[in-house]
Structure formats: structure tokens, C-alpha cells
Amino acid sequence: AALAPLADVGLDYLRLGQPVPTLSGGEAQRLKLAGHLAEAAQKKKGRKPALASTTQTADESGLLFLFDEPTTGLHFEDVATLLGAFNKLLEAGNSLIVIEHNLDVIAASDWVIDLGPEGGEEGGAIVIEGSAAEVRAHAASHTGAALRDYAAALEQTRGAVALVAEPRATYRQLVAPAIEIHHAREHNLKNISVSIPRDRFTVVTGLSGSGKSTLAFDIVFGEGQRRYLESLNAYARQFVQPASRPDVDGVFGIPPTVAIEQRTSRGGRKSTVATLTEIHPFLRLMYVKLGTQYCPDCQVPVTPQSFEAIVAQIQRELRGASAELLAPLVSNRKGLYTDLAKWARGKGHTQLRVDGEYLPTAKWPRLDRYKEHSIELPVGMLKVEPENEARLRELVREALAHGKGVLKVLELGKFGAVAVTFSTLRACPSCGTGFPEPDPRLFSYNAKHGWCPKCYGTGLKTTARVEDPDALDLGDAEDTVSSDETCPACEGARLNPVARAVRFRDRGLHQLATFPVHRAAEFFAELVLNERETDIGRDLLSEIR
């Protein structure tokens, strides 16, 4: 279930289509946490996650998660929700290290590492490490003093105020395995040695500048990532610049590591809550399998079109024009297609139309195998006139046979060729426009097959001409061509008219993306499928719910 983890971390108010750059630092951290909770749930069910962590390779006992002050900006109720999410990670066999000052989080932890005694040059030493109760009893610990004052304040208001979460069972014994750090001297750390329990909830706390981030991120996370990179082969390592080795004598027992920091990368405008949590691919597939295609111009459902209707429409709309009939063989797929050219040559065809250009089948050039190609078989040319009706019927029949029910007609004029699609499978009964079979890429605003041709999937009005829309994806490149105004063509939907015209339960995918998570969860919980839909979408919907 992809929606449940978002509710578990208190993000059920976010819209599925909300761009990631609009999230706060705390929301971005919890959004990443939701993705890992989904992986943990799938692992618990014995299934391989849809997108496994790149660092989870050899160690099946779980990952080590590092969080940087995740309670910043959270209400007390949100803190309780966050602690519940932490418990789910622990139940899945993971380990947690959290840099935190929140006293409820410290009290709920298994192990506390208190750094200090002060900040800056006066920091970098271990004041105490142990349970929250042991820290509270330590006379020289600033954290201990804060815990004592907090406990006293709660005692005075007992019955009216309670901790947001009950402390976990006291962790009294440091049992193996543990992460052992020997003589760390990075930045202001004072040659400290620390044992951090595995499979437990550990808080690193202390005054600002006491060395918390240095210990958790520069040493633990940095060393974990460096070892992961060392496990790659030499070819892969040449593309990655490893972090410098921290100033420490040794780090032992470190598992695969995931860091969820406040200083998150900005991400692109095309990244949304649904794409980052892997809900969007399931929604795209749902619209392909269960959606109903409508004509974007006439707003009526498309239906099969008969052979006679196609011939009549060509005669009516192209009367007196020169036209070429093509059979679509490949639609936006990567490959060399040498065998396809050989097949066409064997059938007596001397040319194939590749991406709008005619190429010889006898001396077939080497195509770019990593580029998407559209290939059509030229069936024949004629002038659309009544005396050529028999020839037209022959060409239409042949094109439909090779194109598996789909054909294209190129109207050849002085200003170039204009292509019109006809289909015996999908056509508008009102205007006769034919449509290809829906593909998941039709509902992706990261692909030219699906994005709005005016804003290239950003949902924002473009301010400059885009030379290479495929390169328009992340970061500053978007800022150079996009404004903060909504795209007038798609009204912020990001998808092209054909994609927006596909509906499921009278809603387009772009409309479903405007739902907050809790509303989407209600929609899918209340969804009742008929027998056909159940056979097709049972497993798909279980992944979404």
C-alpha cells in the first residue's frame, strides 16, 4: 500500500500532485521516510520493494537511518506521529540515529549520546551515553538538566498534561552488534570513542556546535557511503567521487546507511508527492488498464471504427488531395530495428519511414539504439478521387493489416505533409479522429508522449524557447524557461489533451492528482469494481491502497 505510509508520517494533507520544491524541510524529510516505510511494509510481507535502496545489498538485518532534527516545526501531535513511524522502522529490523533536542523524542529513545559540555571549541566530548533516565540523573549534562526540569513541570500538571509518547522499554545492556567508533577527531571532536547499539533508537543530542552532525553525518554516514562505493567495481567507481576519509582511528559494524537530512536537494518542479513515493506509476497503469478514453475535442467516448467508415472519412476530408498511406509498425520505442528492415525488404518494400525520414531497407543505416523511434511502412500513394476508390480500399486494407488496426494518412501539400490517424479500435464517433492504444508514458509529464506541449510537463507558463525539451527536467534548467504563472494551455495539469481526456470514474489523472492524500485514500477505500475491473485491477489497487 503506497498511500498508508504518507498518513503514518502525518502527511495526509498533501496533494498527490504537489511539487516537491514547495515542501518545507520537515515535510521533505517525512516524505522520504514514508518511502522507506513502504519498503519496510513490503519487506515485512516478504515482497521485494518496487524501488529497493541502492545501499541495501549484503546486510539483510536492516538499514541504518540518520535523521537531522526531524521534529523541527512539528506540533506535539505530529511528534507523536513521527515516533510511531520510527517504531515501524525499528519493527522492520532497522536502526535509528537521530540528532534531536526535543525532550519527548529523547525520553522515548533507547540510547542517548550527549555531546558537549559546551559548543564550538568547548564541545566535541562525550558528557554521557546511556538511557534517558541515566542522562536525566547526570549532574553535569545540560540535556539532563532539561529533562529534569521537563519531568518536574509534567509532575506539577499531572492529569492535565502527558508525554506525547510513552518511553520505550528501558534499554539497559549494550548487546552486540553495535557500531563502534574509535578515537574520532573530526572537526571539534575530542578523540572520542562511542558504541551505538544496532536495531535500536539512538538520539545524539547536545548544545549547538557540540559535534552532533560531525558524529552522525561526517563520520557514521560518510564512512557508510565510502564503504558502499568501495564495493562497486572499478568502472562504476570512476563516475563517483568518494567522500574524504574522516579523522577517526576506526569505525566497525556499520550497516548500509540512509541519511535523511534537513538540507535536502531542491529537486525539480516535475517531482511531486506521488512520484517521489512511487504512487504515480501505479496511477498511470490504472488509467491505462481501467480508464475510458474520450475525444479531447468532442468529449465523447472513443469507439471502434469500421473499415467502411474509415474509407468514407478519407474520401470526404481529403477529396482531391494527394495522400500517402502508412502502417505504424513501431511507436516511440528504442532499438536498432535491423530485423524489421529485413522483414520489410523481404515483403518487397524498399523504404521505411523512421521519425519522419525515409530510409532504404536494402542499406539499412544504424539507428541510435538509445533513442526512441517511430517507424511506419509506406503502403502506397494516390490522389483521393472517386475513380481511385478501389485503389484506396486496397491500400487502407493493407495498412490496417500491417498496422494492427491503425493507419496514418499523410496529406501531401505544398506546405509539407499533415498526418491523420485512423483506427478500427479507437476513434471518436463524432469527428472520426483515431487514437493509438494508451501507453503508461501517455500519463507521464516527464515524457514527450504525455507532457503538455506548451509547458513540457512543468504546469507553468514558459518564458523562453526550449531547444531540447527532453533535457528540461531538474534544477536550474527549469527556472530559465518557466515562470510562476500557471500554464494557460493545460491550466497546471501538466499533461497533453489526449492524456487529460482519459477518465476513470469520471475523473482524469490530473484531477486525481489534486486530491490530498487522505481524500485519495478515501476514494480508493470506497472504490467498488465490477467483475471485469476486479480481474484487471485487483493487484494494482492493493499496491495503491
* 226 shares a domain with 83: yes
Residue 159, pLDDT score: 53
* 366 shares a domain with 229: no
Confidence band of 106 (pLDDT split at 50, 70, 90): very high
Q: Which pTM value belongs to this model?
A: 0.69
Each residue's pLDDT tens digit, 453-474 = 888 888 888 776 665 555 554 4
Reduced to 3 states (helix: H, G, I; strand: E, B; else coil), residue 106 is helix
In a domain, 87, yes or no: yes
- Among 18-22, 109-113, 257-261, the range with the most confident prediction by mean pLDDT is 109-113
DSSP symbols for 465-529: --S-GGG--STHHHHTTEEEEEPTTTTT--B-HHHHTEEETTEEHHHHTTSBHHHHHHHHHS---
- Inform me whether the pLDDT recorded for 336 exceeds 70: yes
Residue showing cell 476513470: 504
In a domain, 300, yes or no: no
Query: Structural domain tally of the chain?
Result: 3
Residue 112, pLDDT score: 95
Nearest-angstrom CA–CA distance, 180 and 257: 15
- Inform me whether the pLDDT recorded for 348 exceeds 90: yes
In a domain, 430, yes or no: no
Domain that holds residue 124: 53-260
Task: Tell me how many helices (H) and strands (E) the chain has.
Answer: 19, 20
Mean pLDDT for all residues in the chain: 84
* 285 shares a domain with 203: no
* 450 shares a domain with 481: yes
Confidence band of 61 (pLDDT split at 50, 70, 90): low
* 185 shares a domain with 133: yes
The set of residues, in sequence order, having a beta carbon less than 8 Å from that of 437 and lying 6+ positions away, is 425, 426
In a domain, 3, yes or no: no
Nearest-angstrom CA–CA distance, 396 and 322: 15
**What residues are paired with 328 via a beta bridge?**
376
The DSSP output letter for 243 is P
**Exposed (0-12), middle (13-18) or buried (19+): which is 176, by Cβ within 10 Å?**
exposed
* 414 shares a domain with 461: no
* 481 shares a domain with 400: no
